[in-house]
């Protein structure tokens, strides 16, 4: 609406200016023709009534006084030239004679001669005014040319320009009011039209697959909007049903995967235990002098396998249990250094920018995080010629940053998306629960864990904890 009003105002203003100019042009053209006709009629009358013979040589005598009478009656100034273009008589006073051309240009004479109407109009612009000069043949009673009448005509457009200016000002005032009205109407109409769309847009922005979404209820929506609302409400119902089915399926799948993993991990120590018992039953001789040592070896082997099963059970239990939200005020530098004391590898190094970085974390959980990530790094450098693991603790604003960097084998690109998944591992042994448990602990405390890796060059794990825990 606003654009249409602006375009209409520009077009109407342009058409108005064009129309005024055309009208002014037609007015001056018609006025010049009328003046020419009147002067020529007066000249013809004088030629008929004069006692002189109507020839070129006598024009000066014929119009010696009559030219001024004609000029007074018609209220114009004009000039009379002979057929060669020489000035014979002019109505201008003597002090203005210098402004009158004493001889016409050859171009004017040729154009007048070649004109079928025996009339030629010369257009010029002088001192900011449009100037026209008309040239007509003066004929005797037998229509033989004996001279040339020149009528200068200055176009005075001041009145028309003033009228045009006033009209454009009034038109601008009207269109300003129309523009304001259009803006006002466009605003409220668009608000009315988009009210329903805005409500739908707000609901769409609030749609969350993790929670229950409300349906849209509108009073008297239009047909198209009503169809859109109904489609959205149907989608919400289907979404809730799909979310329930998906959650149930995910829980069932998770339990199935966990059960398979537990069964698999428990079967691993059971097989050597079975073989050990069968071998002991087949080969044990009570009379053998080394029987006591064999019984002891058998017992140690069983105990070792039982401990392995116990560790498996503990690992699954620790992974399943969410860490408690403890708020101990800790010196993270000291706790991390303490966690590294259990590692006796000479290539494990520790640095810290400060001696003390205070944060509210659970000591046990922090140690579990550090030991699991460092253990993962140790397992990545067994085949490296000069292994090196660097653990660093730094403070970054309101966060404490723990980095564990190694120069091990790195992580292949196809494994980067699965590295924190439970039961995923690239090693021949282990359950793949370490990094999954670490991520669980870190995110439970509002932190983040990330890594960068280059295959064959090493990996850097970065853990960030907020120093102050939110309630």
- Co-location of 121 and 255 in the same domain: no
What is the per-residue pLDDT across 137-153, written as a single tens digit (0 to 9) for each?
998 888 899 999 999 88
* Same domain? 310 vs 334: no
In terms of domains, do 340 and 443 share one?
yes
Query: Is 185 among the domain residues?
Result: no
CATH code of the domain covering residue 389: 3.30.565.10
Q: Which domain holds residue 58?
A: 2-162
Length of the chain: 471
Query: At 220, is the pLDDT very low, low, confident or very high (cuts 50, 70, 90)?
Result: low
pLDDT tier for residue 305 given thresholds of 50, 70 and 90: low
**In this structure, are residues 230 and 200 in contact, taking their beta carbons and an 8 Å threshold?**
no
pLDDT score for 97: 47
User: What distance in Å separates the CA atoms of residue 4 and residue 429, rounded to the nearest whole number?
Assistant: 76
HSE toward the beta carbon, residue 231, CA cutoff 13 A? 8
Q: Residue 471: inside a domain, yes or no?
A: no
- How many percent of the chain have pLDDT more than 90? 13
**Does a structural domain hold residue 310?**
yes
Find the DSSP H helices in 50-157. Answer: 59-62, 66-74, 106-114
Spatial distance between the Cα atoms of 394 and 386, rounded to a whole number of angstroms: 26
Residue 240 is predicted with a pLDDT of 76
Question: Do 387 and 294 fall within a single domain?
Answer: no
What confidence tier does 112 reach under pLDDT thresholds 50, 70, 90? confident
CATH number, domain containing residue 21 = 3.30.450.20
C-alpha to C-alpha distance for 423 and 425, rounded to whole angstroms: 6
- Is residue 341 located within the same domain as residue 310? no
- Asked whether residue 224 is domain-assigned, the answer is yes
At 364-407, the pLDDT tens digits run: 888 888 988 998 888 888 777 889 999 999 999 899 999 999 99
What angle, 0 to 180 degrees and rounded to 10, lies between the N-to-C axes of helices 223-283 and 291-320?
A: 170
Give the domain-ending residue among 295, 321, 347: 321
Kindly state whether residue 192 falls inside one of the protein's structural domains. no
Residues 246 and 361 occupy one common structural domain: no
pLDDT band at 213 (very low <50, low <70, confident <90, very high): low
């Amino acid at each position: 609406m606003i654009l249409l009003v602006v375009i209409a105002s520009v077009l109407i203003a342009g058409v108005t200016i064009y129309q005024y100019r055309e009208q002014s042009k037609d007015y001056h053209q018609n006025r010049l023709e009328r003046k020419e006709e009147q002067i020529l009629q007066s000249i013809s009358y004088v030629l008929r009534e004069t006692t002189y013979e109507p020839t070129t040589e006598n024009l000066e005598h014929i119009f010696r006084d009559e030219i001024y009478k004609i000029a007074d009656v018609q209220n114009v100034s004009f000039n009379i030239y002979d057929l060669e273009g020489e000035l014979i008589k002019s109505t201008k006073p003597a002090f203005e004679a210098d402004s009158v051309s004493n001889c016409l240009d050859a171009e004017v004479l040729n154009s007048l001669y070649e004109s079928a109407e025996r009339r030629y109009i010369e257009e010029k612009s002088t001192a900011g005014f449009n100037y026209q000069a008309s040239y007509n043949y003066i004929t005797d009673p037998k229509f033989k040319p004996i001279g040339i009448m020149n009528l200068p005509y200055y176009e005075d457009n001041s009145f028309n320009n003033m009228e045009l200016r006033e009209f454009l000002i009034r038109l601008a005032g009207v269109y300003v009011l129309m523009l304001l009205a259009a803006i006002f109407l466009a605003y409220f109409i668009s608000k009315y039209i988009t009210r329903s769309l805005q409500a739908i847009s707000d609901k769409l922005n609030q749609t969350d697959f993790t929670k229950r979404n409300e349906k849209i209820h509108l009073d008297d929506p239009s047909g198209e909007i009503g169809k859109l609302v109904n489609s959205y409400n149907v989608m919400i119902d289907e979404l809730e049903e799909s979310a329930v089915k998906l959650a149930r399926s995910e829980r069932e799948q998770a339990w199935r995967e966990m059960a398979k993993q537990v069964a698999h991990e428990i079967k691993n120590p059971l097989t050597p235990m079975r073989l050990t018992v069968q071998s002991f039953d087949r080969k044990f001789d009570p009379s053998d002098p080394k029987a006591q040592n064999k019984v002891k070896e058998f017992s140690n082997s069983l105990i070792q396998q039982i401990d392995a099963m116990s560790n498996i059970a503990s690992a699954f239990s620790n992974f399943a249990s969410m860490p408690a939200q403890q708020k101990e005020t800790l010196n993270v530098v000291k706790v991390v250094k303490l966690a590294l004391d259990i590692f006796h590898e000479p290539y494990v190094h520790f640095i810290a920018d400060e001696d003390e970085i205070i944060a509210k974390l659970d000591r046990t959980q922090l140690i579990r995080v550090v030991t699991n990530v460092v253990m993962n790094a140790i397992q990545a450098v067994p085949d490296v010629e000069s292994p090196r693991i660097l653990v660093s603790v730094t403070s970054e604003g309101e966060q404490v940053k723990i980095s564990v960097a190694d120069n091990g084998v790195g992580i292949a690109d196809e494994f980067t998306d699965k590295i924190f998944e439970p039961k995923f591992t690239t090693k021949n042994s282990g359950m793949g629960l370490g990094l999954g448990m670490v991520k669980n602990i870190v995110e439970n405390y509002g932190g983040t864990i990330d890594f960068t890796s280059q295959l064959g060059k090493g990996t850097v794990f970065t853990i960030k904890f907020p120093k102050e825990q939110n309630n």
